[in-house]
Structure 1
Amino acid sequence: MLLLVPADVLRPRRPDAHFADEAEAAREAGIDVAVIDHDAFVRGRADGAAVGRVPEGADAVYRGWMLRSEQYAALVQALAGHGVTMRTSPEHYRRAHELPEWYSAIEVHTPESFWTSGDDRHDFLQACAALGAGPAVLRDYTKSMKHYWHEASLVPDVADSDAAWRVASRFRQLRGDDYTGGFVLRRFEPFVGPEVRTWWVEGSCRLVTAHPDTPEQHPSTELDLTAVEPSVRALDLPFVTADLVLRDDGQWRIVEIGDGQVSDRPPSTAAAELIAALKNREQSTT
């Protein structure tokens, strides 16, 4: 196994500071580490130089900043030119990264959702009509703007077309060039307590952490994955995260699926714990 991390912009031979502890933990666990030029893929300049420090012929896992699906595909292609195989294919990445790709597998465990393709007002209002009435939470295929809760996230009533569109317009403005896919409307559900992030390798939950937004907060109720495990396994993905939160009726609900390669690790969890979860997969398949 080879761990790939973004290079430091000012010191390109070193890992980006945000992932330096994971790189060090990997080395201590006997895993090779290499850096890539993350910015090259973001700028659409995916060439051999961007992965020039990656050794040939490796089985690799990426831990780094978020990439759009097409940018990740370019990374995989560039690495293939070095004989490097990514455990997560471009198809796997998209399935974990974009809500319309993962929604059907976990539909019973996640808020009801409708989405558009693009940012057309007519299509958005059709999604509102499909949801019916009542409050909803707005996002795009990959991200919400929950830190702008009242102006760009919460739609108080999808039946109020003008008010709903004002929220959507502000969301679209804030997302800018990062806007991905289309609008996604998710039925509002009353949650209690903090989110918990679960890390799954080859369909098995290998690590449970706090959510990065609330790194010191853990749910007061014991997490029970019995109901959701078959659905996460049905995604058939090599490395994903599932964020869960307790609904006010006592049910655990999945609010997000993400590709584990670009899911942030809370600082309250040691880097070695995540590396161990990945290495356990390696050991179980040898």
Structure 2
Amino acid sequence: MHILFPSDYFKPSQPDEMYQAQAEAFDNKGIQYSTISLDELSPLSRITPAVSNDVIYRGWMLNEQEYQNLCVSIASSGGTPYISVESYLALHHLPNWYELIADLTPETIILPKDCNLELELKNIGWESYFIKDYVKSLKTSVGSIINEPSQAVTVADEMKKFRGKIEGGFCIRKVENFLPDTEERYFVLDGKVFASEKSQSIPEIVVECASRIASRFFSIDLTETKEGKERVVEVGDGQVSDIVGWSPERFARIFVDG
């Protein structure tokens, strides 16, 4: 196993500052890492030092073309992407995983990015709407949760303005009564589920969710409603999932225990 981090702009052989603690944790566990510049990422982007085995990327979200370029760079350097382009998109784009766990997560309606969003929301007729594209939401001036369909125009315009584009299309998620500060992240590596604390038990809903998804490495976010029901907020590719609630040491450990 080999870990690949985005490089520091001024010190290309070192991981970006955001990932330094993770890199040190992996190094302490005897797991080697390399770096790659994400500036103008291309199939010719250089990996330092070169790799020769399975490679897991740990860095910022990449779009489809960027991830394809990353995989080519890994292969050209002598390594094998641990997560294929197809597997990456299967977890990175919400419509690809939603149907697999539709009964475990809030109801979601997928719409094309060129739709009349205000009209579509009026037709849906919910009391409120959580709006994101295929990848993530944006905290707009009216919020990512709106109550009036007319606010959808502002959400869409600001998503395009501040993110540059709508990736894929719109995902309209039904708002449920989630309790604040109850969200927890789990990681799944080759079918084994890990919690942020080794002694922590794994909820049945997380085990069920993990059993339905074929990816080798992904995250599951779980929360609780005011009614006391556990719900999966979302799943995501593990390579680009933050380690929120985890220590770098615990995160690196799963690659040893797994």
Please say if residues 193 and 202 of structure 2, whose CA atoms lie closer than 8 Å, have aligned partners that are also in contact.
no
Mark the CA change 1:91 to 1:136 in structure 2 (over 3 Å): closer, same or farther.
same
Among residues 127, 130, 134, which one is paired with 1:137 in the alignment? 130
SS of aligned partner of 2:96: helix
Please say if residues 4 and 36 of structure 2, whose CA atoms lie closer than 8 Å, have aligned partners that are also in contact.
yes
Q: Note the 1:20-59 alignment, pairs <5 A.
A: 20-41=20-41, 46-48=42-44, 50-59=45-54
Residue 104 of structure 1 pairs with residue 124 of structure 2? no
Question: Which residue does 1:216 correspond to in 2?
Answer: none
The structure in which a higher percent of residues are helix is 1
Mark the CA change 1:131 to 1:111 in structure 2 (over 3 Å): closer, same or farther.
farther
Superposition CA RMSD, Å: 2.1
Aligned residues: 255
Residue 277 of structure 1 pairs with residue 254 of structure 2? yes
Q: Partners of 1:190 and 1:272 in 2: how far apart?
A: 33
Mark the CA change 1:244 to 1:32 in structure 2 (over 3 Å): closer, same or farther.
same
Counterpart amino acid of 1:75?
A: L
Q: Report the TM-score, using the length of structure 1 for normalisation.
A: 0.82
Once the 2 structures are TM-superposed, how far is the Cα of residue 125 of structure 1 from its aligned partner? 4.5
Q: Partners of 1:36 and 1:172 in 2: how far apart?
A: 28
Please say if residues 114 and 130 of structure 1, whose CA atoms lie closer than 8 Å, have aligned partners that are also in contact.
no
Q: Report the TM-score, using the length of structure 2 for normalisation.
A: 0.90
Once the 2 structures are TM-superposed, how far is the Cα of residue 130 of structure 1 from its aligned partner? 5.8
Among residues 201, 207, 218, which one is paired with 2:195 in the alignment? 207
Question: Which residue does 1:238 correspond to in 2?
Answer: 216
Q: Partners of 1:259 and 1:181 in 2: how far apart?
A: 17
Q: Partners of 1:108 and 1:25 in 2: how far apart?
A: 37
Once the 2 structures are TM-superposed, how far is the Cα of residue 264 of structure 1 from its aligned partner? 1.1
Please say if residues 8 and 17 of structure 1, whose CA atoms lie closer than 8 Å, have aligned partners that are also in contact.
yes
Counterpart amino acid of 2:169?
A: G
Q: Which runs of 5+ in 1 are unaligned?
A: 210-221, 282-286
Residue 94 of structure 1 pairs with residue 81 of structure 2? no
Among residues 177, 181, 185, which one is paired with 1:190 in the alignment? 177
SS of aligned partner of 1:91: helix
Once the 2 structures are TM-superposed, how far is the Cα of residue 40 of structure 1 from its aligned partner? 2.8
Among residues 126, 151, 156, which one is paired with 1:163 in the alignment? 151
Which deviations, in whole Å up to 9, do the C-alpha atoms of 1:111-139 show, x marking residues without a partner? 11112232x242x3464256333211001
Q: Which runs of 5+ in 2 are unaligned?
A: none
Question: Which residue does 2:168 correspond to in 1?
Answer: 181
Mark the CA change 1:126 to 1:39 in structure 2 (over 3 Å): closer, same or farther.
same
Counterpart amino acid of 2:186?
A: T
Counterpart amino acid of 1:103?
A: Y
Question: Which residue does 1:214 correspond to in 2?
Answer: none
SS of aligned partner of 2:168: coil
Once the 2 structures are TM-superposed, how far is the Cα of residue 12 of structure 1 from its aligned partner? 0.7
Percentage identity across paired residues of the two chains = 29
